[in-house]
Copies of this chain bind each other. A is one copy, B any other.
């Protein structure tokens, strides 16, 4: 069953542009891996929102996503830490659609 990745980011003021560049690099790599279905990258309307960027993507299943994550995201984590970005990724199922 398909799963929903929701990755919640807190990006410090002034680092937004560098972070978006980082995310575009990760996206180019991870979307070429097996199991990726589709995604939407969100930016908060108010720049001072606690979670100012949230990525939501659909993947084939849990196992295939974490494999792709290890290959595409893990090697890029040092750069993210340099930018002072906090990231909380987790997989979800849709409990209700309304």
Known: A38-B98, A98-B38, A98-B41. A90 touches B46 (CB 8 A): yes
With beta carbons under 8 angstroms apart, the residue of B3, B42, B88 that contacts A92 is: B42
Which residues of chain A from 34 to 65 have any CB-CB distance to chain B below 8 Å in the complex?
38-46, 49-51, 53-54, 56, 62
In the complex, what's the smallest C-beta–C-beta distance from A8 to chain B, in angstroms? 6
A38 to B95, CA, bound (A): 14
Given A8-B51, A88-B50, A42:B98 Cβ within 8 A: no
New A-B contacts (14) at CB < 8 Å, excluding given A38-B97, A41-B94, A51-B88: A6-B42, A8-B8, A20-B95, A27-B98, A31-B98, A38-B98, A39-B98, A40-B94, A41-B95, A41-B96, A41-B97, A41-B98, A46-B91, A49-B90
